[in-house]
Structure formats: C-alpha cells, structure tokens
Amino acid sequence: MTKTIRKGGEYLLRDTPCEDVFTPEDFSDEQKQIAETTEQFVLNEILPHIDEIDAQNFDLVVKGMRKCGELGLLMIDAPEEFGGLELDKATSMLVAEKIAPAGSFSVAYAAHSGLGTLPLVYYGTAKQKERYLEKIISGEWIAAYSLTEPGAGSDALSGQTSATLSEDGSHYRLTGTKQYTTNGGIADLFIVFAKIDKEHLSAFLVEKNFPGLIVGNEEKKMGIKGSSTTQIILDNCEVPAENLLGEIGKGHKIAFNVLNVGRFKLGACVTGAAKFALLEGVRYANERKQFGKAIGQFGAIQEKIADMTANLFAAESLIYRLAGLLDDRLGTIDRTLDNYYEVYQQGIEEYSPECAIAKVFCSEVLAHVADEVVQIHGGYGFCSEYAAERFYRDERINRIFEGTNEINRMLIPGMILRRSLKGELPLQAEALKAFEALMTPTFEEPDLRPFAAEKTVLSNLKTLFLILAGSAAQKFSTRLTDEQEILLAAADLAIQIFALESAILRAEKNYPTSSERKQRLLMAALKTFCFNATETAGSAARKGAFFIEEGDNLTMLLSGIRRFSKYDASGLLQAKRLLATSALEDEKYLF
C-alpha cells in the first residue's frame, strides 16, 4: 500500500492512518545494531570518564570524537561519494538518542555531526567537500557553528560580523565576534556567518589556523560543563574566496534550514537523556528506604514515575513519527538532480512546524523528568556525587539551544498561518467547519473499541485549534504576528495535538501484534498521557479564548472549550500504577 506524503502542519486538518507512521517498533536489525554500538560506546568510553569531561578535560572529548569517527557515528548524514553512510533520518535520530546519556559529550557530538557538518553537506561545492568532509566525518577534525553574536541571539539576522572582499578577489576579511560557539575551543573548522559589505548575510568555511581567528576563553556555565563553549573573535580574519559556503546573501537559508534539522535532532537527544535520567530515578526509588520500605512503593513516587514514563512514550512516538515523515518525503527526490540538495532542503523545510514542536515538547519532557528525578532523590539529588544533580544542570540549556522555546512556539502557528494564506493548507475552510461544529450539538453513542475515547478527544482538540486560530485571524488579521501571547497559546494546543496523535497512532499500530502485557502497557501509557495532554491543551485553549474574545463570543467559546476538552479517563489510577510497577520491577523504560 502506497503511503500518502503529507504536508507539514496538515496533521491539524487531516487524520493519519496508523499504518502510515514510523514507530520505534519498526526499527530494522541494522538500526538496532547501530543503536547497540552507540550505547556500548557511551557506557564503555564516555560515562567512566564523565567527571573528568565535566572538569573540562577536552582531550577526552576529542578522543571520544575520534572514536565516534572510527565507529561510523559521524558519517551517518554524509553522502556516500565522500565517504559517508547517508543513512535515513530515523537512524540518525536513533543514534542521537542513544548518545544522549553521555551528557556534555553528547553536546559536542551533536554540534559537530549536525550544525558543524550539515551546512557543508547541503551547500558545499564538490571541491569543498573533498577538502573538508572526510576530515570531519572521520573525527580527524572537529567542526563548530558560529551564528550567535553578543547582540544577536534570537534575532540572529541582526548580527554585525562583516566580510569584505580583498581588492584582488582572493580572500575575504571577516571582522566581528561570535558568541556561545559550541566546540569553540577544540574545533578545527568553523561555519561562520558574516555580512558581505555589511549587507548580504553569507556563510564561510573558516579554519582554526586562518590568520585573524582568535578563540576566546571558555564560558563558565551552569551545566554542560564538559562541552567547550567560547567566543570566536574575527580580527580581519583572512578566508580564501573559495571558502564562501553557498551563495552570497543566502546565509539565512543555510542558518534556518540547518536549524530545522538541529531542532529535530535535539528532540531525539533530550528524549534519550530523559530515558537515562528516568532509570536513575527508578533505581534510586528501589534502593532508598524510608518508613520501613522502598520509596518506590509509595503512591506519590509511583505517580511521578508513571507520568514521566507516559510523557516519554509520547516524546519517543513524536520523534520517530517525524523521522518517518521526513524519510518518506526525502525518499521521493531524484538523486540524479543537479539541485538535489536544494530540493532536499525544501523537503526538510516542509516539516519546519513539526521540527519546532519536537524541540519544544521533548526538551520540556526532559525538564520535567530531570526535576522529578531530583525530587525522588530528595536532598541527595542536590549533591554532585549523584547523577541527578548533573541531569538537572545539564537539562536547562535545551530550552534555549536551537532557538528558545518561546521563539519556536511562535514559529509553529506562524508558519501554519502563513501556509494557509498562501493556499498551501486549507485552514480557513476547515476553520469554518469547526465553527459549525461549535454551533451544532452532538449525541454520540459510546464507542468501546480500543483508543476510541482518545481518538475522539484528539479530533475535538483539532476542532478547538481551528476555532481559536480562526477567531484570532478574523479579529487581528495581519496584526496577529504581533500578538505573541495568542501565538503561544495556539502553539501549546498544536504541540499537544501532534504529541497525542503520535502516541495514539503508535499504540493503535502496534496493539494488534503485541503481547497481552504490552497491550496493557500501551493502553496505560496512552491513557495517562492523554489525560495530561488534554488538561494542558484545555488550559491553553481557555487562555487563548480570554485573550481573543469578550462578551457573548467569549461565553460561546468557553462553552465549546468545555465540550471539546472532555476526556473520560476512567481507570487512570490503575493505569498509572501499572506503568510505575512495570518500570520499578524491570528497572527500564517501558519498551
């Protein structure tokens, strides 16, 4: 059966058959082997030295990167003709997930293999790739990405670093300061963004030893202490003209398109980190005794474990569903096209709303898990000899990396609304249908089939999003982009809908072929997450209604929100206890 290639954002308007989604249960033997190799590398090569790495022994980081090169972990996204493996996005995300327990080292890995490598893969000339790519994917050289400046963070395009072409046209002189460059102190090659003639944002391949490049001091950070983070100072840095990456004035395309992958990849990384942290919490809950028994036997602790497990189930489902969407879309592109990577980037850009969702949702799942694992540890969670303390410090940056969660939240509805205005998504027509549903009472017969209640609430939440988006667009028109509070509320709805649908589709797809035990766990995880997601989405919808409407219109909207955010979570306590018991007995994440 042929899959339908769906558009980015279309999940809000159309149902998806469960057969069309990729789930972790679909991993091939080859993917599982790569995952196992990555896990063993982290367990044997990195975690025994994690304290030394966090003490900024960067020689160990470089050594670990060399080993990653030997294992093929740096060449997953690189083209075969230049020595890469060119594997699918699902495999790339799986490796990112499995390397995440390496803490600070995983940040160095992600910066190198993602932001430091992909601009060269996507936009480099054959000559540039021949010169640099083999060194990067072998781990011989470390790569870094320099976009942020002291005065240009979220507004990255406002950077002031300049590039001036020499009179003989042989090289550019770059002048300016880059801030927060991950791998700055250990990198051999930097992707640097600068404005040619102070106007045309462009990207450059800058080697560490080019005259005029100065590496600043290491930043003193709250967390991820074992990753090198420095300023990069460009003092008339001489860069050969042939090291211009891509086209003059098209640096914004490189920056934003690569960030889409970075956001997606970060979602996979933080999901892996959250799984690892959860297991530390579960093990401690089994070991720690108070009032004569292990604290894992107490309901208060069990509920924490259940909620963390259910949220992780949704995060994992979301990440690999998105990987499947990307792989399906990219798989339709003709490899012989002269502009293959241009079309390839358009394929990735199609799912930029979902990439932003992955970054926001999964980073906030990790934040919740890290906080709860500290809480399970009690006072010991505040002490550095326990891993929980490091999890808590290291987690915080993920809500800032790759664009803050606030910026990403505003991008989600913003991109969807822009596509609607271009006629790419029939948002207006679907919003009219949603308003009709708001005005029409329903008398539904109970549906006792598996996942029926969850699918009903999912459909209702989509209706709510359309009602709110339609109301906001009608009231504010083109001024809606300035109404950030409304965009944030709409984003929270869109995020929870995508996460919930991903969890439902995964459960629905795998339920028929699962053991009885796994069936019960799938139902329990979905029920628990559906309750949490519906509460979050309902709260966001109510807030949005108060922001948008008043008087009779507000009353009508609030009535609709009450109606469309109902979920019968009967058996929720039993579901949570089942999830917690399974995690505590097996001392592992569910599946």
Burial of 57 (0-12, 13-18, 19+ CB in 10 A): middle
- Which residues of the chain carry a pLDDT beneath 50? none
Taking alpha carbons only, the member of 194, 212, 188 closest to residue 133 is 188
Q: Which residue has the tokens 């969807």?
A: 416
Q: Which pLDDT value is given to residue 52?
A: 98
What are the b/e assignments for 419-438, b being 16+ CB within 10 Å? bbeeeebebeebbeebbebb
Q: Which pLDDT value is given to residue 156?
A: 82
Q: Which amino acid makes up residue 54?
A: D
Q: Which pLDDT value is given to residue 1?
A: 56
- Full set of structural domains in the chain with CATH: 10-141 (1.10.540.10), 145-245 (2.40.110.10), 251-405 (1.20.140.10), 423-586 (1.20.140.10)
Rounded to whole angstroms, the Cα distance separating 201 from 203 reads: 7
For strands 213-218 and 229-240, give the pairing: antiparallel
Query: What six digits make up the tokens of 497?
Result: 């809908």
Q: Which pLDDT value is given to residue 72?
A: 97
Residues forming a β-bridge with 171 = 240
DSSP 8-state class, residue 414: H
SS3 category, 408: helix
Residues forming a β-bridge with 239 = 172
Query: Hey, which residues are catalytic here?
Result: 402
Q: Which pLDDT value is given to residue 455?
A: 96
Q: Which pLDDT value is given to residue 446?
A: 65
Taking alpha carbons only, the member of 420, 431, 531 closest to residue 471 is 431
Q: Which pLDDT value is given to residue 22?
A: 98
H helical segments located in 45-174: 50-54, 58-71, 89-99, 104-110, 118-123, 126-137
Q: Which pLDDT value is given to residue 477?
A: 86
Taking alpha carbons only, the member of 264, 258, 270, 326 closest to residue 116 is 258
| 3-state SS, one letter per residue, for 283-304 | HHHHHCEECCEEHHHCHHHHHH
For the chain, what is the radius of gyration of the CA atoms? Answer: 24
Query: What six digits make up the tokens of 124?
Result: 């480099």
Contacts of the segment 400-408: beta carbons below 8 A, 24+ positions apart: 401/266, 401/363, 402/259, 402/262, 402/263, 402/266, 402/359, 403/154, 403/259, 403/263, 403/356, 403/359, 404/154, 405/359, 405/360, 405/363, 405/364, 406/488, 407/154, 408/263, 408/356, 408/359, 408/360
Plot region of 9 (φ>0 → left; ψ -120 to 50 → alpha; else → beta): left
Rounded to whole angstroms, the Cα distance separating 432 from 448 reads: 30
For strands 229-240 and 289-290, give the pairing: unpaired
Burial of 87 (0-12, 13-18, 19+ CB in 10 A): buried
Contact 500, 529 (CB under 8 A): yes
